[in-house]
């Protein structure tokens, strides 16, 4: 395929906290992340670079937008555009960040929301997005000032879920939790020392699950904003999980209760 690289001079988009991400700096990579971005009408795309084999697969699947500039390259040319060690599977997409979405719009009609209190590892957030999409959460909410940008690493870990599930950034997490209460959500903080078991309190109600960062857990203001603190039932021994694993288990418990 012979397509010309069209240079795009669009400026970066400022986030609510003032961070600026340039389209020229944002590269999504990996098959699932790139295919999901190509299928997402909300994602502004500028250039696809692909190995001949990966490009052939996209064309065979009908996943390639007809107006997208494409460069057919060898793997080394893709690697030069990406962070060291990025697993790109022969595909990288230069794109704009997704548009911001407000909290009320993101959770409208949804019964399950996940809130992250200063979880900062993009790989963990990506894995959490993937689990949230699997178990029917309506959105993942985080505080803008203490969370990473939606980089290629986060999108790769999310395996396409970043394009399917709103990642909502709020300026103040405690106020965001208050807004969720006003919208009819019961705020459940996940805490290994919580007085209740999550499987015994999850029922037929709108639930916002709040998870804290590894090590630090929930901050004081976040704990105080919760309606209840609950723990994941466990067999003893180790009582804590990696935050992305804890999110997956908690989402499954609540998802099952909501379905029942």
Residue written as token pair 């019961």: 186
Residues 130 and 216 in one domain: yes
Band of the pLDDT at 203, cuts 50, 70, 90? Answer: confident
Residues 60 and 169 in one domain: no
Residues 74 and 39 in one domain: yes
**Tally of CB atoms within 10 A around 118:** 19
Check whether 15 has a pLDDT greater than 60: no
Q: What is the mean pLDDT of residues 50-62?
A: 94
Per-residue DSSP letter, 147 = S
Band of the pLDDT at 24, cuts 50, 70, 90? Answer: low
Residue written as token pair 């949804």: 110
Looking at residue 202, its pLDDT comes to: 81
The predicted-structure confidence for 90-123, as pLDDT tens digits, reads as follows 999 999 999 999 999 999 999 999 999 999 999 9
Looking at residue 251, its pLDDT comes to: 95
Residues 166 and 222 in one domain: yes
User: Of 13-17, 36-40, 142-146, where does the model show the most confidence?
Assistant: 36-40
Of the residues 45, 62, 95, the one at which a domain ends = 95
Structural domain range at position 64: 13-95
Position 227 in a domain: yes
The predicted-structure confidence for 248-257, as pLDDT tens digits, reads as follows 999 999 988 8
Looking at residue 259, its pLDDT comes to: 67
Residues 88 and 36 in one domain: yes
Domain count, the chain: 2
Residues 209 and 144 in one domain: yes
Name the residue with higher pLDDT: 229 or 17.
229
Residues 53 and 112 in one domain: no
Position 2 in a domain: no
In the chain, % of residues over pLDDT 90: 74
* Strand 20-21 to 27-29 pairing: unpaired
Band of the pLDDT at 194, cuts 50, 70, 90? Answer: confident
Q: In sequence order, what are the residues at sequence separation of 6 or more whose Cβ sits closer than 8 angstroms to the Cβ of residue 35?
A: 58, 61, 63, 160
Of the residues 39, 70, 95, the one at which a domain ends = 95
pTM of the predicted protein model: 0.85
CA–CA separation, 253 and 259 (whole Å): 10
Of the residues 71, 95, 119, the one at which a domain ends = 95
Backbone φ and ψ of 190, nearest 5°: -90, 120
Position 83 in a domain: yes
Looking at residue 239, its pLDDT comes to: 57
Check whether 45 has a pLDDT greater than 90: yes
């Amino acid at each position: 395929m012979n397509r010309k690289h069209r240079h795009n001079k669009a400026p970066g988009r400022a986030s609510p906290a003032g961070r600026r991400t340039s389209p020229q700096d944002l590269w999504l990579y990996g098959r699932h992340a790139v295919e999901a971005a190509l299928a997402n009408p909300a994602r502004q795309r500028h250039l696809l670079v692909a190995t001949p084999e990966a490009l052939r697969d996209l064309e065979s699947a009908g996943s390639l937008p007809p107006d997208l500039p494409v460069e057919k390259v060898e793997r080394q040319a893709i690697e030069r555009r990406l962070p060291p060690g990025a697993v790109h599977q022969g595909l990288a997409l230069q794109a704009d960040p997704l548009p911001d979405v407000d909290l009320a719009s993101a959770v409208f009609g949804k019964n399950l929301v996940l809130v992250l209190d200063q979880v900062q590892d993009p790989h963990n957030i990506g894995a959490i997005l993937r689990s949230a999409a699997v178990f029917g959460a309506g959105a993942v909410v985080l505080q803008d000032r203490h969370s990473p940008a939606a980089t290629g690493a986060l999108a790769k870990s999310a395996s396409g879920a970043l394009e399917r599930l709103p990642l909502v950034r709020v300026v103040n997490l405690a106020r965001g939790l208050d807004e969720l209460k006003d919208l009819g959500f019961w705020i459940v903080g996940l805490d290994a020392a919580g007085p209740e078991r999550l499987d015994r309190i999850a029922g037929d109600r709108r639930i916002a699950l709040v998870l804290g960062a590894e090590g630090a857990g929930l901050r004081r203001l976040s704990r105080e904003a919760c309606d209840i603190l609950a723990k994941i039932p466990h067999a003893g021994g180790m009582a804590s999980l990696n935050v992305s694993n804890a999110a997956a288990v908690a989402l499954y418990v609540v998802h099952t209760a909501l379905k029942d």
